[in-house]
Amino acid sequence: MNFRSLRDVDVRGKRVIVREDLNVPLKDGHLGDDTRIVAALQTLRWLRERDARTIVLAHLGRPDGKVVPQLSLRPIATELGVRLGGRVGFAGDCVGPVAEAAVAALHDGDTLLLENVRFHPEEEANDPVFARALAALGDLYVNDAFGTAHRAHASTEGIAAYVPAVAGFLMEAELTALGRLTNDPALPFVCAIGGAKVKDKVGVFSHLLQRVSAFVIGGGMANTFLAAAGIDVGTSLRDDDLSPAKAIIAQAKLKNIPLHVPSDAVVSTAFDADASAETVPISEIGARMILDIGPQTAAAYAAVLRDARTIVFNGPMGVYEKPAYQNGTRTVGEAIAEATRNGAVSVVGGGDAAAAAHELGFAAAMTHVSTGGGATLEFLEGKTLPGVAALERSAQEAGIR
Ligand code: ADP
Ligand code: MG
């Protein structure tokens, strides 16, 4: 990778601006899932232990450029302090006199969290004056917010033009793991793909069609592929427009890449009618809806995955939020875990796939579970992430200097 890491720079006594993804679920000041806070700790702890003066930038929710008190990051400063084992200061603005005074008061080893950058409309507009004001707070910029790297905002992209910029440990770990899917992956390379809609993942299909050996398809999107193949999927969730699925089928055929679709399914009459869920062959859906892949399908997918040497899992195989429809995702997850124990590289990407991996207990057995939702998806689409490109530009300029 063509950017510098935190390991390459001296941080002692320096004012280090760190962009983290701390966009956690917060209700009435109470924290829900803390995965993103935990993921930020390695970088923050490292800086603290090396006596840096750490200034954390982050966003919370979508305040749309206005001050929204419910979206204040103040409670997150407390949460960070608890996990870092020490006080984390908080400043009520991310630029201007309040931020400047808080930064000036920092001692070596201190950590300061600044208020939600998205309270300023200039953040999402990637305003250069605002980006320069953020940059002026520090001597070094560390982008650790992989989950926001697909956004060209002032605190994720613009800032890197005005202060030396390096990647944090989470950013580095994400890009290293995801990079193993694109840089000469060991074959067979299998993509297990599910989730709601084909429409959301056309880009992932077209990029991975250039790389993978096979797809195993589940979730709502499998219904769309079945429908595109002329199978009656009853009242199942499916895309109205079948043409993207048809185009993917045609492309896969041309490249001789198997697209495995379900041969049986767990169906019911409604999402929440899980008591009446039953398993049927794919030809017998009737007026019901498909809510998970069936056991025969799951076993077939597991067999394909167990032989793979590189695996990417994006999107659950069924409505994993309900126990009655978790089996497909669990069986596929366990097969990936087994392949990984036998030496395969496995990456789980997508917010729901990652949540399912944690909930169903196979996350720890994966090579990597990505913390990025949209960012991971864009990576899998082969897009350049603006936050990463900015780090590469900064490294290039440092090389010239
Ligand atoms: P990811 O976040 O991993 O990329 P998506 O957001 O595309 O995944 O899709 C996840 C959603 O898809 C989940 O809420 C899940 O309930 C839903 N889903 C999976 N299978 C089905 C199905 N057969 N019918 C309807 N919804 C489904
Ligand atoms: Mg999702």
Is-same-fold flag (6-174+384-397; 187-343)? yes
197 carries an active-site annotation = yes
Residue having the nearest C-alpha atom to atom 22 of ligand 1: 220
- Average pLDDT on 20-45 reads 91
Residue whose CA is at the smallest distance from ligand 1 atom 14:
319
Q: Starting from the CA of residue 315, give the closest ligand.
A: 1
372 lines ligand 1 (CB under 6 A): no
Report CA(350)–ligand 2 centroid distance (Å). 6
Ligand 1 pocket: which of 226, 237, 297, 370 to mutate (most atoms within 8 A of CB) = 237
Does the pLDDT of residue 128 top 60, yes or no? yes
pLDDT tens sequence across 360-401: 999 999 999 998 889 999 999 999 999 999 999 999 988 755
Say whether 175 sits in a helix, a strand or coil.
Answer: helix
Instruction: Identify which of 326, 304, 379 has the alpha carbon closest to the alpha carbon of residue 219.
Output: 326
- The one-letter code for the residue type at 140 is L
- Is 109 marked active-site? no
Tell me the CA–centroid distance for residue 321 and ligand 1, in Å.
9
Looking at the domain 6-174+384-397, which fold is it?
Rossmann fold (3.40.50)
Q: What's the rounded Cα separation, in Å, for the pair 247 and 228?
A: 10
Q: Could you say which ligand is closest to the alpha carbon of residue 196?
A: 1
351 is catalytic: yes
Residue nearest to atom 7 of ligand 1 (CA): 195
Residue of minimum CA distance from atom 24 in ligand 1: 220
- 106 Cα to the center of ligand 1, angstroms: 45
Share of the chain above pLDDT 90, in %: 92
Contact indicator for 95, 133 with CB cutoff of 8 Å: yes
The CATH-assigned architecture of domain 187-343 is 3-Layer(aba) Sandwich (3.40)
pTM of the model: 0.91
Ligand 1 atom showing the smallest separation from residue 218 Cα:
20
pLDDT at residue 271, rounded to an integer? 87
Q: Ligand 2 centre from 258 Cα, in Å? A: 25
Pocket-testing residue among 231, 235, 313, 352, ligand 1, by greatest number of atoms within 8 A of Cβ: 352
| CB 228 within 8 Å of CB 349 | no
What is the structure's pLDDT at 355?
92
In short, whether 196's Cβ falls inside 6 Å of ligand 1 is yes
Residue 296, φ and ψ in degrees, nearest 5: -65, -45
Q: Give tens-digit pLDDT for 253-294.
A: 999 999 999 999 999 999 888 889 999 999 999 999 999 999
Domain boundaries, the chain: 6-174+384-397, 187-343
Q: What is the pLDDT of residues 151-196, one digit of tens each?
A: 999 999 999 999 999 999 999 999 999 999 998 999 999 999 999 9
Most distant CA pair in the chain: distance in Å?
69
Q: How does 54-63 read in b/e, with b if 16+ C-beta sit within 10 Å?
A: bbbbbbbeeb
Is residue 223 over pLDDT 60? yes
Percent of the chain with pLDDT over 70: 99
Q: What is the DSSP string of 67-122?
A: --GGG-SHHHHHHHHHHHTS--EEES-SSHHHHHHHHHT--TT-EEEEP-GGGSHH
- Told to judge if 81 belongs to the known catalytic residues of this protein, a careful annotator would answer no
Which atom in ligand 1 lies closest to the alpha carbon of residue 322? 16
Catalytic residue among 50, 74, 132, 197: 197
Question: Mean of the per-residue pLDDT values for the chain?
Answer: 96
Distance (Å) from CA 314 to ligand 1 centroid = 10
Q: Name which residue sits closest to atom 15 of ligand 1, judged by CA.
A: 319
Give yes or no for residue 349 CB within 6 A of ligand 1.
no
The residue type at 318: G
Whole-number pLDDT of residue 273: 86
CA of 351 to the centre of ligand 2 (A): 5
Which residue in 336, 359, 347, 340 sits closest to 146, CA to CA? 347
pLDDT band at 3 (very low <50, low <70, confident <90, very high): very high
Cβ–ligand 1 distance for 295 under 6 Å, the answer no
Give the CA dihedral 194, 314, 297, 247, nearest 10 degrees. 60
